[in-house]
Amino acid sequence: MTDTQQKNLPPKAFTEQQWNNIHTVLLDMDGTLLDLHFDNYFWLQFMPIKYAELFGVDNEEAQQILKQASAETQGTLNWYCLDYWSERLSMPVAELKHDIVEKIQYRPHVKDFLQMLKQQGKRAVIVTNAHRDSVNLKMAQTGLDKLVDRIISSHDYQEPKESQAFWQHLQQDEPFNLENTLLIDDSQAVLNSAKKWGFKHLLTIFHPDSQKVPNTDSEHPGIHHFDELLYEERIKKD
């Protein structure tokens, strides 16, 4: 490897020895494996337009109505529940997501990373707050379900990941050892909850939305993209 190639490699998120000690990787979906742009665009741009059209208000008023409703429920399971939003807004929210399905995209290097986990015999489990209708739509669009061992939605437990009760349910349903389990999530609130539960290995995502600038303001260590975790490729190049 040339000096230039060496300099172009992203910094390692773990030492090789630390990585070898990781047996299970718990992965958030939106903003971690998939580009958060789809969700941000849907809720912040697409939905206000549809709401304004349906109820005959201007776009600014529609945005304020949705913003207020979001603020009232953030951090709760309802914030992620498409059934709740369909009822509250009197709109077919799950169906409307199909209108912009082309915006559902992988984040960089995700497929390579998941393939590496499989090759190394590590268990890969998606743990997401997304509603099952949203999960199913994204699996149909991306085939992501074929690249992991299991997908768990917080709606399965009726508790969001921000709640300590979620991790208790997960521990019983999908037993894991805190000493050799890594959680990767773009939500600071979720990572804080996991840390409180006792997780030893946490990583955040600095660039969850490809259309926004990266944000490294986090109390948790993190990565920009998954090439920072491609240890197998590093070994080959070195």
Where does the pLDDT of residue 178 fall: very low under 50, low under 70, confident under 90, or very high at 90 and above? very high
What residues pair up with 224 in beta bridges, in sequence order? none
Contact in structure between 109 and 227 (CB atoms under 8 Å): yes
Per CATH, the number for 3-36+104-237 is 3.40.50.1000
pLDDT at position 47 = 96
Burial of 202 (0-12, 13-18, 19+ CB in 10 A): buried
pLDDT at position 11 = 63
Average pLDDT over residues 35-63: 96
**3-state DSSP percent of the chain in helix, strand and coil, to 5:** 55, 10, 35
Instruction: Report percent pLDDT > 90 for the chain.
Output: 87
At how many degrees (to 10) do helices 82-89 and 59-73 cross? 130
Higher pLDDT, 1 or 213: 213
CA 184 to chain centre: 8
Average pLDDT over residues 32-59: 96
Tell me: pLDDT of 69 over 90: yes
Where does the pLDDT of residue 75 fall: very low under 50, low under 70, confident under 90, or very high at 90 and above? confident
Burial 81-120 (b: 16+ CB within 10 A, else e): bbebbbeebebebbeebeeeeebbebbebbbebbebbeee
Contact in structure between 25 and 40 (CB atoms under 8 Å): no
pLDDT at position 232 = 61
The amino acid at residue 75 is G
Give the residue extent of every domain in the chain: 3-36+104-237, 38-102
Tell me: pLDDT of 6 over 70: no
pLDDT digits over 98-129, tens only? 999 999 999 999 999 999 999 999 999 999 99
Average pLDDT, the chain: 92
pLDDT at position 10 = 56
